[in-house]
A and B are shown apart, each in its own frame.
Chain A
Amino acid sequence: MMADLPHASNVSPPVGSLRMQRVRRLSAVMAVVCVVIAAALTLGLALYWWLTPVGAIFQQSGLPSVPPTELSMFVRGAGFAISMIPLAFLIYGLIAARRCFHSFAAGNIFSETAIASLRTLAIGMALSALTKPIAAAGLGLLLSSLPPGAGKTLSLHISADMILLLAFSGIVAIIAWVLMEATEIADEHRQFV
């Protein structure tokens, strides 16, 4: 019986196996981190709209008008809903990242699921970047209509952050495409054991 042979038990496991175990452990942790980040961002945004004084909200939105003394829960809820639009797309991307890490944790590094999830992450980030100025414009309209007698203000800001996020999501999408092409090559290598 092999179990009786002394030398077999003294041989350490292959280095590749240890490395893979490290990858799987880290990926499992990252899958949880993605969910935590998504939950924290949502909770953070909800707390912002619930607790931030009206003066601070107006200041941060860059509106020139004098803010009212208080914001109703309806307005705060509407502000949260509008702000959630770009965040929802980002969370959509984070959930896709979670699927990607789950796939890594299962040992499927170059799988179709993992690469498709990476592509979805890129799409989520791009949509988040594109809807940010629209949400900001919506918030501007909402808040500017509150002070009595004030006219509505529609402003559209395209920031460097948005362009950087768009560029980054484009890079991630290209990486996902390259990986997809590489899996076909790797499929052939996989037939070597």
Chain B
Amino acid sequence: MPIRVKLGVVLAERNVKSKDLAEFVGITEANLSLLKQGKVKGLRFDTLERICLYLECQPGDLLRFEPTSNAEK
């Protein structure tokens, strides 16, 4: 998928546990794990908001667009 999730990197940089972030955001650890792996179909704005609030970061720090050769214009 062209959208890469860098959440795992940000968590490691800030030394934040997934369990704590999941509890704050209000999602299960399993879903957070799926998000870190980029295996979710979508991300709600309120989830993104709470992640950014907890990690004190911008959405762009968490998501990166890396187009595949088919997706390039």
Question: Which residues of A are interface residues toward B (Cβ below 8 A)?
Answer: 1-2, 5, 7-8, 11, 13-14, 16-17, 188, 191-193
Contacts and interface: CB of A to CB of B under 8 A. Distances in A.
Chain B: interface secondary structure?
helix
A8 B31 CA distance: 21
Given A8-B24, A11-B53, A191 B46 contact: no
B68 interface: no
Contacts of B24: 8, 11, 13
Given A191-B42, A192-B42, A193-B40, A14 B54 contact: no
B40 A2 contact: no
Given A2-B54, A11-B24, A193-B42, 17 more contacts: A5-B56, A7-B53, A8-B54, A13-B26, A14-B46, A188-B41, A191-B34, A191-B40, A191-B41, A191-B42, A192-B40, A192-B41, A192-B42, A193-B31, A193-B34, A193-B43, A193-B47
B16 interface: yes
A2 B47 contact: no
B26 A14 contact: yes
A188 B16 CA distance: 29
Given A14-B25, A193-B32, A193-B34, A8 B53 contact: yes
B45 to A, nearest CB: 11
Contacts of A1: 15
Contacts of A8: 24, 53-54
Interface in B38-62: 40-44, 46-47, 50, 53-56
